[in-house]
Structure 1
């Protein structure tokens, strides 16, 4: 049985890349940290066909140990490291898009890196450890020259995971008009100090290997394979979560695989790490690992919201960010920092935190690709154009929203209310939703949706950012209602709240007659032990809360949705209405 937590990176080999193309860069590259490169080469692969106006090109950027082979070209080709995401009929559909994946500057799979000959050396020898220090920006500059060569003025999207996500965001900030979409998966604005520490240890393992020879080991019989293998072992530990390691290794902890290795194999995880480390030395260069890890460590888009806002201010693309719940290398909190900055700038952004036990490697694991792949497809234009179906309550909410108002919908579900507003011509519409299936459906409607827990308030949004904040049929599912009222009124000039009335006549009668937790159709139709409702407010309760908080009720509408009747405010709505809509302001 295959391992469900196996990363596609584990399938990689040193086999020649049969579809590799190369571009010789005639102009000198002036590097961001000083120094220059002449005679550089960019290696890349392509899939699909570029259309006449070059508007269908998608750039895919790889992680630190990746290369240009992101997907199979045909059935006889070797597997790619993102086959499940990229190909005919997949999220990045190569029947529709022209996909380009280059090997990064500093790499060892065709693009100029430390193992290549230094044209300034006499006699000729590889750069080795004297390869100049490069940045993510330098990598992107090489990719920009490749785009010029291919006749691509603006990418339809730049997509990448981990280090690839850093490159995608660098495209969006270094060349603000260069892409329509930036898709960064399992990435961050910069590395945490803990992640930096692991990289430092990895580089020390390589550079203190007795066979490192100050980086000039290419003509020697022995290379710094021990140091590189240890660096890879350390990397693998950071790519996995504690849950994933337990699942992989606890069952046969004391039954390691028998492999030929000088590394310790007393435990099953030991033989696994030994295998991964030794395999890595057959396809990767130690100097490249030092070069690329240092470039990643130097990446710094900002460490607070203001700095990130300054970094992304000029970007003219929309964004999709994806993180994974168990990723402690590039944490969900780091992705949310970027999202918070983008929302404060009113940039178009969708964000999802995918629930996964696999850690950082999640972005290369099949079951997790199945979860976030539809979001990538939606950002690239896959649409669900089905007309939204609205209840009478939702139709009333829409009538309360002024034309052209910008709207934040908290607990937006599948986005059908926002979709109706979009059809009406509203431009700035944002949803907040935690259910991943709903988030995907909303994204497929072409909406910006942010995966965020309302119990944490609304820190992603700034004061008076929206004309209207809507919270429909969500109030009863939130724990911190009082704080959320304050937050909604801070973020929106007006707030429209709809909620089920738990003092409704049918519920009262059901409770008295049956002596059980009341049930009725709609939001009330749950057992006491599986209800998503955390609060049980009545209309009178919410009115009391508004008075306590000095919140003005500008308008109130009451319904008996069972019979689709509107209840007169003078006809005791606390008894006769099962649903209320309140328009609030301060």
Structure 2
């Protein structure tokens, strides 16, 4: 394996004692969703930081299937945790600011009641008699444990993979107790392909002769071979094809020399054998069967209507993150959740992070550095109460203001020369959707004017993260695919600012804008501007100037070259009503009234169907 490549923090886990593990015993029995019952439940947890006087800075971390309560080290002498790069002093989940708690899940094998715990009715380990549990049971137990610890409200719930599914349940089942929900690399249900890998893994465990029908603890044995194979299968699903090639292709015929009964002819084989053998040291086979079944049975709905119902009553704010090469929990499944939240009018931000690492990406140090700052910013915003609740404020669009002709020319010295005029065209109190929102500058200016119900759309990771860090709701979505997640008239104004010339699908985007918004505001550079014409005519070269014209012919993002006259013709043919048209000479800082198709370099149109 290539030693220069980053290693998942889950790879370095060991079976050592949880030095900082604590236990809380729940009061009374636990009735389970499938009808079973546990008379006694103990929850193992670890915590970092301090609960503040207001008791409003608690962050719950939810672990993946192979994780436990040890999410991060507690001091320099402690072993690293499975989310070591996210949690700690000065890190994104800053333990100097937040009280962080992580619990081993119900059904686990690291201190919380599970199959290897003693059944009080028999005095011996539950083994295969441990009742079937669900993700809802896991979260209900966490909620009761928090209550026992005196924590009634959570600032946030953050989790990846199975932990992300727990976060989804928190946001829908106990949403009144959570302000921010952060599911990472997860899904509302497993794909059939992912389900198939779990089925094979469980069969490997249960077919191991040492499994003994799940009663291996009574004989002092363990189904080591079956559990190791299940883990090996799991690791295959955690890596993308690109990650496999990066890790193993260069030395595929030079496996590591490790003690194993498994084939190690290839480097990938020795890696998988190593992972399988290590996993057997620290995990229980019955727990693996129990937790994978809970994960496989989790289903918030396949159809859009079912997902909408699932999220309809959630009062939380949401931040979802996925990774482009994750085929175990593919981004499209996160998008299904995002679409349901948007359709229900929830406050949601979503970013798909380009990564070749596959599902493991959420545990890799470099990837944590990329997305961690966004999580940290959102936590800080929630703690300081800097985020407004997005209410259904409406405005009277019949009162659209006229544009002043005496605006100061200094406004055009700013980064986006059309912003001041666009702001003048948006009535107070408007709910605004900004398509191609960039880094959120216009959204920030709208918010400073008191607007609520603001949202941005973009496709560039860096711009999405900056917009989200500024406290805005923004989703990663290609507008050229339409805006199906938004209902008719969901916004008062939909903006498209200096992006028209780069669109592949102009007709669809404009049609969707006037469907989703009661008004559409579109600004674009006028490619019939006289200086552009003159450059082409006199010099015989592709026009190049400042601003939106500042590209070479070979690197321009502009695929359209609309003039004002072209756009007016387009609107007429599409049945779009032009309510306002503002034409600017942005260099002079003046509005153009005479022959704008020749004399204006920038235009703004206000449209509706």
For the aligned pair, the TM-score class normalised by the smaller chain equals over 0.9
Cα displacement (A) at 1:220 = 2.9
Comparing 330-339 with 509-518, which one deviates more in the overlay?
509-518
Is this contact kept in 2: 1:26–1:38, CA < 8 A? no
Say whether 1:189 aligns with 2:212: no
Shift of 1:301: 0.9
TM-score (normalised: structure 1): 0.97
Is 1:62 the counterpart of 2:63 in the alignment?
A: yes
Is the contact between residue 521 and residue 562 of structure 1 (CA under 8 Å) also seen in structure 2?
Answer: no
Which deviates further from its counterpart, 132-141 or 220-229? 220-229
Compute the RMSD of aligned alpha carbons.
1.5
2:171 maps to 1:172 = yes
526-535 vs 42-51, which moves further: 526-535
Correspondence for 1:354: 353
CA deviations on 1:153-200 (whole Å, 9 max, x unpaired) are 110000000000111110111112010000000011111111111111
**Residues 417-470 of structure 1, C-alpha deviations (whole Å, 9 max, x = no match):** 111111111110000011222212211221101111122111221111111000
Distance, in Å, in 1 between the alignment partners of 2:115 and 2:76 is 33
Deviates further, 454-463 or 42-51: 454-463
Give the match for residue 304 of structure 1: 303
Contact in 2 for aligned 1:70/1:82 (Cα 8 Å): yes
Q: Which residue of structure 2 lines up, in the alignment, with residue 290 of structure 1?
A: 289
Gaps of 5+ in 2: 387-412
Q: What residue in structure 2 maps to residue 317 of structure 1?
A: 316
Aligned: 1:439 with 2:464: yes
Query: What is the aligned partner in structure 2 of residue 79 from structure 1?
Result: 80
Looking at structure 2, the residues matched to 580 and 553 of structure 1 have their Cα atoms a distance apart, in angstroms, of 13
Q: Are the equivalent residues in 2 in contact too, given 1:322–1:351 (CA < 8 A)?
A: yes
2:608 is the counterpart of 1:585: yes
- After TM superposition, give the deviation of residue 104 of structure 1 in Å: 0.2
What CA distance in whole angstroms lies between the structure 2 residues aligned with 1:549 and 1:5? 52
**Does 1:257 find its partner at 2:260?**
no
Counterparts in 2 of 1:436-585, with a 5 A limit? 436-568=461-593, 571-585=594-608
Deviations 1:196-230 (A, max 9, x none): 11111111110111110011111434310110011
Distance 2:4 2:226 in 1: 28
Which whole-Å deviations, capped at 9, do the CAs of 1:529-574 have from their partners, x for residues lacking one?
2222222211112111111111011100011112222111xx1211
Preserved CA contact (<8 Å) 1:50 1:97: yes
Contact 1:408–1:470 (Cα < 8 Å) also in 2: yes
Match of 1:208 in 2: 207
Q: Secondary structure at the match of 1:211?
A: helix
- The residue number in structure 1 matching 2:377 is 378
CA–CA distance in structure 2, aligned partners of residues 325 and 280 of structure 1: 27
Q: Distance in 2 between matches of 1:93 and 1:214?
A: 45
Q: Distance in 2 between matches of 1:534 and 1:249?
A: 41
* Deviations 1:276-310, CA, capped at 9 Å, x for gaps: 11111001111111000000111111112111111
Residue 282 of structure 1 aligns to a residue whose secondary structure is helix
CA contact (8 A) 1:327 1:360 kept: yes
SS at match of 2:124: coil
C-alpha displacement at 1:130, in angstroms? Answer: 1.3
TM-score, with structure 2 as normaliser: 0.93
Classify the secondary structure of the residue corresponding to 1:498.
Answer: strand
- Tell me how far apart the structure 2 counterparts of residues 82 and 158 of structure 1 sit (CA, whole Å): 14
Equivalence map 1:46-445=2 (5 Å)? 46-121=47-122, 124-382=123-381, 391-445=416-470
Q: Distance in 2 between matches of 1:3 and 1:457?
A: 42
- Mapped to 2, the partners of 1:80 and 1:176 lie a distance apart of 27
Structure 1 residue 119 displacement after superposition? 1.0
3-state SS of paired residue (1:380): helix
1:13 counterpart = 2:14: yes
SS in 2 for 1:156: strand
Separation in 1, partners of 2:266, 2:497:
53
Q: Give the number of equivalent residue pairs.
A: 580
1:229 partner SS: helix
Unaligned runs of 5+ in 1: none
Mapped to 1, the partners of 2:329 and 2:6 lie a distance apart of 18
Cα distance in structure 1, aligned partners of 2:43 and 2:220: 28
How far does the alpha carbon of each residue in 1:225-249 deviate from its partner, in whole angstroms, 9 at most, with x for none? 1100110010001000001001111
Render the CA deviation track for 1:78-116: whole Å, top value 9, x for unaligned. 001111111111111111100010000000111011011
Q: CA deviation at 1:392?
A: 4.4
